Each structure stands twice: as structure tokens, then as C-alpha cells.
Structure 1
């Protein structure tokens, strides 16, 4: 019952209960004085009746007012007191203090709203804790991934300074290695910068209409030399009767596809590396599947492959290089464009990466 209804009924009760109670008491007193004790209805007996009647009125009013006030105030003050305690506990950092209520009145709704706020604060605190842990891990991994090539560069520079590179051929090899390592560092810093902007949602997207069929056909043709050099090939499967026009940032989409192809080629152990791109349409989106014939990913690792710096095989990752941010950047770019991304894999057969983009009517 709402507080408003409760107060209205309380006021009505404070009028009706005394009237009914007084009527009952008058009948009882009159019956005792004038029937049971056969008193005279005039004189002293009437005076006693009026005195008792007056006393009864006072007692009834006091008792009725006291009980109703206690009941109504208790139903209001108790939840307010509980909310006050919860507010103090939460302000002190105790987010475990629950104030869940089964009441259906305004205070019950307020209490449950406060409880929802507590749960959101608790969730936010846990998210912040995880974010802080991820941030510390990110810093540690960045430090490691930057220190490794720097150590290599310093080693080769020291070799040159110490005269180890004492022939033109050795000098060239040392300089080529230094350049290649510095170039890898530049790529890592570029990926970290992009990842940071995407994470903070500060990367501007240039959304436009993109025909995915034409996009992938041109992209695969452009990548032909790279794929051939890596002993790989890519094929495109579409239903020509369908339309594959989506709203996307063309350059960011190129980054997505490039990262996925490079990731697949890097970790494929087959002599002939194959990538199949398939397009499907639904009512509101186009689904892109990029499938490789690599060694696949363990089921336990699959849910985490889009996390930053997650490595399913540390030794293999160390051998092949890479920042560990490629798939995480892919996920952030797709989500920034309103799409979804997920993966399926079978060990020994290959992995499929799926992502969606909003379809343009």
C-alpha cells in the first residue's frame, strides 16, 4: 500500500474508530449503570455516566492516536533509518550492505532504487579494479615488448662500436638488423597509439557506404603479391544476387582485414596457406567470415583471443613477433562501427573469424 493511501486511511481511522468505540463504550457503561446496577438516570448516576463517558473519550482518542501514529511512523521511519544506515556504510566504502525491500510503497521503490545504485557502484568498483589490473599488465607488457628490441639494438650498436662488424658485409647485416628492429618498434608504437585512441574512444571514424564485395575483391587483388610471398592465397565467396553495401570507415576496415590476414598467415603451419572470405546478408547486417586452414585454437583460449596481449602460445608468439594487440584493435574497430565479432575454431583444421557491419538499405 502506498504511503498516501496509508495516511488517508489513518486519518479516516482516527475519526471512525473513536466514534465507533465511543458508541460501544457508552452502551456498555449505560448498560452497567442503568441496567445491571439499576441506577437512576438522573442525579448522581447521570453525573457518573458523564464523567465515565468523558474519561472514555480521552482514553479512546489517546489510544487510537498513539497506535495509528506508531504504526504509520514505524512503516515510514524504519526504511528511512535503514536507508540512512546504508548511505553511511556505503560512504565508508562498504558496498556489501544490502537494503533490498519487498515493500510496494514509495519508500520500497526508493529502497530498491538505492539497492540498484549500490549494485551498480559495486559493479563499477569491480570494473575499475579489473581495469586497473589490466592497465598495470598493459604497462608491464608494453615495457617488455619495447625493452626487447631496444636491447637488441643496443647490442648491435655496441658490436659496431667494439669493432665486431669489421667487414662491410657484417656492417651491412648489423645495420639491416638495427633498421628492421627499429621499424618493428615503430609499428608497435603505432599499434599502441591506435589501441589507446580506440580504447578512449578518441579515434574519429569516417563513415561511408562501402560495397563489401568490391572492397574484398580489390583488397585480395592488392594483397596477391604479399600472399604469394607467404605461400598463401585468398579466395572470395559471395552470392552475386545479394547486395553487400554497409556503412563503415573504409580505412579502418582495411586495417581490420589486414590484421586478420597477417595474424592468420603468421600462425599457419601448412605448406599452402589458404584464406577464404565469405559474405552473407541478413535483414540489418552483413556477416563476414574469414577462415584459414591453420592449426586452430584451443577451446579454452577461444573466448580470450580478442583481449589485449593475450597469447595462446607464448613461445610461438615470441618467435613470430607481433605486439599482441592486433585482434584487440580489430575488435575495438568493429565495435566502434556498431558491429559484432566472434571466432570459431577446430584444432588441426583452422579458425574462422566472423564480424558484422550495419547494412545500408
Structure 2
């Protein structure tokens, strides 16, 4: 019963008013039980009961609406008018709007929690990535200082290993600097017209020895073409191809394959695909692969080197070109990373 909370105070007030009437009649007008005008008293009290009920209900609604209005005006542009006679439908409408606001704020809180979790993961991963080469450098230097520096059989070897760790540390810092510049908008894409075939062939040549070492075959379906002009930043697209092919090799299997495909699609675009039959990516890891320092099978991949920023940089570069990148993958089957570029048709 919706009006049940109102009845109790109305009944109490009516009883008090009835008792006052009886007391006044007995002590002031000297009424007795037989001479008391009970019919008039009952009619009067029923009228008072009805009047009190609607008065209390009216002021209760005004009070509730005024309190709701104070909050509602802070979160909505359409303030509630206190001059309007609000009904239960109005209250339901306000409740619905507050539920919507609550859901929006709840989603914002969940987003902030996710961002905080990402921040903690990022700091933890960054700390690990930096400590790994630093500890290696420290270990080699300590060994040299403890006497290995005078041993011609090992000193040069340790110095070279320390140098490789320095190079890896420099690589990580350079990649961090690159992403920071993209985030701040200071990293500029210098678009020119260039031959995509030449760029792909140059990248393939740079991986020749590593492909032989890992016993992986790389195929390019357009290698016979001489020219395919596209509009973009050649150096950045070279980096995109390098990072994607490097990833395919890193996650590849012995005697596996990598294939580079070019396909002309609508809206004057070319679709570049790097397809491998390597380890693939699980559905759990897939939404996070473009996050900084996020690694699949973390222990194995850190042994493979790299900065952990390769795919994040790829995403930033493609986004800066106003192009799209997509991933199709299945764990244990392989992956297909595809991105679009603008064809040059003049």
C-alpha cells in the first residue's frame, strides 16, 4: 500500500484532536456523555482526517521533490520545478534518471579501476624490463673488476655481453620515448609517396639470417611486382613491418612459415597482412596485446629479448596514419596481423 506511511501520523493527529474535543466539551461546556454531540464530533473528525491526510501527503511530496531537486540540478541540465504538482509518475521518472546516472558513475568507477590496474601493471613491467639489462651489465662489470679484466680469454667476451645489454636498455628507452611522443602529439607523421614493395623487400632482407637460424620460411606474394605506390611515412611503415615480422619470428615454430600478403580493397586502400602458423594468441590475452609491456607467455618471451613495446608502437603508428589494424588469431594455429594504407593513384 503506497500511502501506508502517511496513515499513521494522520491517525495519531486525529486521535489527539478527538481527545482535545472531548476534554474541551466536558470541562469547558460541561457536556455529559449523554448530552455530548457525538454525531457532529464524528463528522468533524472524519473531515479533519481526510484534510490532514492530503495536507501531509502534499507537504511530504514537496519535501521529497525539493531534496531530490538539490541533487538532480547538480547532475542534469534540466532542473526540477518546485511549483509543479508532482505525481507518482514524476517520482518514477526522477528515480529512473537517477538510476541512469548511477549506472554511468558506476561505469566510470570501473574504468578508473581498470586504469589503475593498468598503471600498476605498467610500472611493474617497466621496472622488470629495465632491471633485466641493468642487472646483466652490473654482473659483467663486477666480474671484470674482481679479476676477469686481466684475463684475456674472458674480458673481451664480458665487455661484448655488457655492450649488448646496454644496447637493449637503449632500445627500451628509445621505444618509450617514441610512444611518449605519440601520446603527447609531438611525434609527427611525414607522409610521402613511396614504393611499398621495396620497403617490404628491405625488411625481409634484414631478417634473412634470423629466419635461417630459426628455420622459418618467409613468403611474399607480390615479390615479382616492381612498384606499388602508397601514401604514408616510409620510415614508420618500415618500423611497423619490422615489429610485426619480428613478432611472427619470435612466436614462430621451427620449420614454420610467415606470409606477407597485399590486397587492394575498397576506398582506395591496400591491406597488408602478416600471417604466421606460430603459437597464436589466447582469447584472454588478445584484448591486451597492444598494451605497453604486455607479453604473452611472459617467461619465454623475455628470454627472446625485445622491449615489450613493439605492438604498442605499431598501433600508435597506424593510428597516426588514420588507418586501421586488426588481428585474427587462434592459439596453437597462428596469427594474422593486418593493417591498411592509402594507395597512391595519381
Which of 316, 321, 338 is residue 332 of structure 1 equivalent to?
316
Report the TM-score when normalising by structure 2: 0.66
User: Hey, what's the Cα distance between the residues in 2 that align with 1:261 and 1:83?
Assistant: 60
The answer to whether the Cα contact below 8 Å between 1:308 and 1:324 also exists between their aligned partners in 2 is yes
Which deviations, in whole Å up to 9, do the C-alpha atoms of 1:119-140 show, x marking residues without a partner?
5554444333322321222112
3-state SS of paired residue (1:275): strand
Which deviations, in whole Å up to 9, do the C-alpha atoms of 1:111-155 show, x marking residues without a partner?
95x877765554444333322321222112111111121111111
Superposed counterparts of 1:1-361, under 5 Å: 81-86=67-72, 120-198=104-182, 200-210=183-193, 214-215=195-196, 217-230=197-210, 231=212, 232-237=216-221, 246-271=230-255, 273-283=257-267, 285-358=269-342
3-state SS of paired residue (1:356): strand
Q: How many residues align?
A: 275
User: Hey, what's the Cα distance between the residues in 1 that align with 2:322 and 2:121?
Assistant: 28
Which structure 2 segments of 5+ residues have no match?
1-53, 77-87
Shift, 1:360, TM fit = 6.0
Change (3 A) 1:161 1:276: same
Report the TM-score when normalising by structure 1: 0.63
The answer to whether the Cα contact below 8 Å between 2:126 and 2:293 also exists between their aligned partners in 1 is no
User: Hey, what's the Cα distance between the residues in 2 that align with 1:86 and 1:281?
Assistant: 50
User: Hey, what's the Cα distance between the residues in 1 that align with 2:130 and 2:309?
Assistant: 14
3-state SS of paired residue (1:205): coil
User: Hey, what's the Cα distance between the residues in 1 that align with 2:333 and 2:117?
Assistant: 35
Change (3 A) 1:338 1:224: closer
The answer to whether the Cα contact below 8 Å between 1:238 and 1:280 also exists between their aligned partners in 2 is no
3-state SS of paired residue (2:154): helix
Shift, 1:325, TM fit = 1.4
3-state SS of paired residue (1:263): helix
CA RMSD after TM alignment: 4.0
User: Hey, what's the Cα distance between the residues in 2 that align with 1:244 and 1:283?
Assistant: 16
User: Hey, what's the Cα distance between the residues in 2 that align with 1:239 and 1:180?
Assistant: 34
Which deviations, in whole Å up to 9, do the C-alpha atoms of 1:263-319 show, x marking residues without a partner?
111221223643323333112533221112323233443333222222221221122
Shift, 1:246, TM fit = 4.9
User: Hey, what's the Cα distance between the residues in 1 that align with 2:327 and 2:110?
Assistant: 27
The answer to whether the Cα contact below 8 Å between 2:327 and 2:335 also exists between their aligned partners in 1 is yes
